[in-house]
Structure 1
Amino acid sequence: MLRACALAASLLAATAQAGTPTDVVHWWTSPGETAAKQALAEAYRAAGGQWRELAVSASEQARAIALERIAAGNPPLAAQFNPTRALVRLARDGRLNAIDDVSAQGSWTEVLPAVLLDAVKVDGHVYAAPVSIHMPVWLWSSKAALAKAGVKAEPRSMDELFAALDRLQAAGLIPLAHGGQPWQDLNLFIALLANQGGRDLYLAVLRDGDTAAVQGEALRQVLLSYKKLRRYVDPASPGRSWADTTALIVSGRAGLQFMGDWAKGEFAQAGQQPGRDYGCAPGLSPRSPYIVSGDVLLFPKDRDGSVRPAQALLARVATAPATQLAFSARKGSVPVRTDLDTRTLDACAQAGAAALRDAGRLVGNTELLLAPLQLTALERAVSDYWNRDIPVQTVQQTLAKILKTGDKP
């Protein structure tokens, strides 16, 4: 597969040499993502742009192709990315065009959440256009499973969560749908850190690397709750994909799952509707931190600057109100703008949009807060704790070494 990606990159690089870059590299390839991408492409064409694309199914491979072409001097017009430290490096290496003029003309400081705008800024300049927002730790529930277990409402506190899990287990259902892959193990831990620990602890641990917080009692209790969840997963959990895990909720075999809002597509494909067939909540309580992640378009520099007008047009179109509503409706994501009337979106998207307007709830995702090596080490440590008998104090000491502020670039 990597060889095929390299071949695709070389072929597109060769075509890019022939003239001004016009293609967009992305990984919007699932049915819902493809429909959303089409809304963006149609809006760009309607505004006078020429849309060509290279769609790659895996995000890692799409990013690798974009980075290879940028390094080779044959960049695409734009590339789908996530707001991570890799974006910061590209900007500081002089590989990207800033779009400060588009940001200013679009009043981004007024219509985009500050945490999202800061995520696409490097040294005071804007280098990417936000396209969609995803939150990685929504709580999904099967209405049928909860009813069978006698759970009258989705849990809205940690106590209610464990009470619901106990009832689901007593009813012979899978209480917690969880795919035992390292990234999913970390995602579940992040869900507990946000919902039980709260915003202050989340930021103290992940953003600040505060040793006292990492080794303190509050995080100890989060880790103990996290480990306690293991008794509620099924024996087939290890290695299972997130989609197969969400299918347990869709079928009513499992009751609850913490997963990103991309899971909504699985319910939609099954013809299910939020509120009727399943529940969705961006946190256990109205004050739970809303973790901001999502997709952006970055704009590589070309040889002579001739691509800048097309890039500016795409940035304007991608963030325009009509495009945002159309894109979000098809993809199931939350619009990046806080000034939109979201009543045309489904109940889950409306709940996400409401949370996004509450600046006091917003925090950055792990990919934004941590360096890549730190994130890899954190994932390994948390997954080891989930799967092995490791004392909680040992885990806290390991996390303190990984997260200490002095190691962050």
Structure 2
Amino acid sequence: MRYCSALAVLATSTFLATAGPAPATELEVTHWWTSGGEAAAVAEFAKAFDATGNHWVDGAIAGSGSTARPIMISRITGGDPMGATQFNHGRQAEELVQAGLMRDLTDLATKEKWTEVIRPKSLLDSCTLDGKIYCVPVNIHSWQWLWLSNKAFETAGVPIPKNWDEFVAAAPALEKAGIVPFAQGGQAWQVNNTFAVLMLAIGGKDLFQKVYGDKDDTVAAGPEVAKVFKAADDARRLSKSANVQEWNQATAMVINGKAGGQIMGDWAQGEFQLAGKVAGTDYTCLPGLGINPTLATGGDAFYFPLQKDEAKAKAQEVLASTLLDPKTQVAFNLKKGSVPVRGDVDLNAANDCMKKGIDILGKGDIVSWTDQLVSQDTQKQFEDLFSEFFATAMTTEDAQERFAKIVATAD
């Protein structure tokens, strides 16, 4: 992935040229970005779209994606489509596309040469079905981060850990100081992804691919995955007194020094920035949990449900262009904590953690994430399993047995 600092690139973009003078059109955009950092980021999209002479009508849905997606899908299938809607790029909107309910963006993508500027290629591949492009990827989000409170470890009188093993070893000192070692939100999507992050960090790329990509249930039931379940058991034990549900509540515990660390995607940076915290000074980030610096190229994308109103259809095209405008990409992603999907933008303003992510992506140390590898039905089964695992005294042996059975029937 190539990131250049030539400001001329930003000044000479042709992405907004497709807009042209046109009467203002209101376009409702649904998404689940409702935390403080997320709201600040999405405001950059709204501002850029409004600057085209149209108007972004914000359709934020409180809660996580797992709460918002059924509402979005119900509206689209029920004949009340919004102008545009967020999904994670991957397979979440696959059935909607197959049902003919989403707009084909191939002509626009060809005109604006998306295949030449969107990096890595897998992002646009995740928007493509039967050779046609149906979504606009807007960021590269990676789940594989351990966020640490420098204040918490200073209070506990122990060095800031350099990896997951050191983090677990430091837990007794944190607990003695009255600090929750590990801030884990209780929602199913969070605990499921914590496990997947541990799988990639501890097991490595090959094991991760065999389990989630190849759906190898023999490997899923084997000794290497048993090590991952041991780490998940540590995470469960260290988070037992966290008592939070939302991810940003867990992040706030780290920000305020009430918890030592949290496994969460790079969007957590938006919360640290909003709180005025400085990467490397107030908090530390460990990509790949400090064990295996590999990142997934997941993230967010916008799909455009078919519209009967011609003006709204035209506004959809303007919005699609605006989302990929270089200036808009930089403004949004700096506040979101994610990395732009364009490989030709200026990221001199990136902080320490974002630069770590850019470096890893540039080296090609990447994998496709679970949203891209398994269906939503399989994902839901994983979520149910790990929600129960983190909330109960289920043994690691029983959990692994159930996990392997899900992998055996995964699609």
Regarding TM over 0.5, the answer is yes
- Does the CA contact (< 8 Å) of 1:96 and 1:299 recur in 2? yes
**Equivalent residue number for residue 115 of structure 2:** 109
Give me the TM-score of the superposition, normalised by structure 2. 0.84
Instruction: Between 219-228 and 165-174, report the one with greater CA deviation.
Output: 165-174
Distance 2:80 2:187 in 1: 36
1:407–1:171 Cα change, 3 Å: closer
**Equivalent residue number for residue 84 of structure 2:** 78
1:224 aligns with 2:230: yes
Distance 2:69 2:386 in 1: 26
**Equivalent residue number for residue 399 of structure 2:** 395
Distance 2:263 2:92 in 1: 27
Q: Which has the higher contact order (CA 8 A, sep 6+)?
A: 2
Alignment of 1:269-280 (within 5 A): 269-280=274-285
1:57-81 deviation digits (Å, cap 9, x = unpaired): 2345654454344334443221122
Report how far residue 379 of structure 1 moved. 1.9
**Equivalent residue number for residue 166 of structure 2:** 160
1:222–1:33 Cα change, 3 Å: closer
Alignment of 1:80-95 (within 5 A): 80-95=86-101
**Equivalent residue number for residue 102 of structure 2:** 96
**Equivalent residue number for residue 374 of structure 2:** 370
**Equivalent residue number for residue 255 of structure 1:** 260
- Does the CA contact (< 8 Å) of 2:34 and 2:61 recur in 1? yes
1:56 aligns with 2:61: yes
1:252–1:68 Cα change, 3 Å: closer
CA RMSD for the aligned pairs?
A: 2.8
Instruction: Between 134-143 and 48-57, report the one with greater CA deviation.
Output: 48-57
- Does the CA contact (< 8 Å) of 2:29 and 2:58 recur in 1? yes
- Identity across the alignment (%): 36
- Number of corresponding residues: 386
Instruction: Between 22-31 and 57-66, report the one with greater CA deviation.
Output: 57-66
Report how far residue 169 of structure 1 moved. 4.0
Report how far residue 185 of structure 1 moved. 2.4
Instruction: Between 318-327 and 375-384, report the one with greater CA deviation.
Output: 375-384
1:382 aligns with 2:389: no
Distance 1:386 1:61 in 2: 20
**Equivalent residue number for residue 342 of structure 1:** 347
Distance 1:125 1:360 in 2: 27
Instruction: Between 316-325 and 373-382, report the one with greater CA deviation.
Output: 373-382
1:154–1:337 Cα change, 3 Å: farther
Alignment of 1:205-354 (within 5 A): 205-235=211-241, 237-238=242-243, 240-285=245-290, 287-303=292-308, 307-354=312-359
- Does the CA contact (< 8 Å) of 1:139 and 1:280 recur in 2? yes
What is the aligned counterpart of 2:362 among 357, 363, 383? 357
What is the aligned counterpart of 1:146 among 124, 148, 153? 153
Distance 2:263 2:69 in 1: 26
1:360–1:273 Cα change, 3 Å: closer
Q: What's the secondary structure of 1:380's corresponding residue?
A: helix
- Counterpart of 2:266 in structure 1: which amino acid? D
1:194–1:305 Cα change, 3 Å: same
- Does the CA contact (< 8 Å) of 1:198 and 1:288 recur in 2? no
1:188-225 deviation digits (Å, cap 9, x = unpaired): 21221121011111121112211221012110111112
**Equivalent residue number for residue 15 of structure 2:** none
**Equivalent residue number for residue 3 of structure 1:** none
Instruction: Between 136-145 and 331-340, report the one with greater CA deviation.
Output: 331-340
Report how far residue 355 of structure 1 moved. 2.7
- Which ranges of structure 1 fall in alignment gaps of 5 or more residues? 1-18
Distance 1:61 1:385 in 2: 21
- Counterpart of 2:387 in structure 1: which amino acid? S
- Does the CA contact (< 8 Å) of 1:199 and 1:363 recur in 2? no
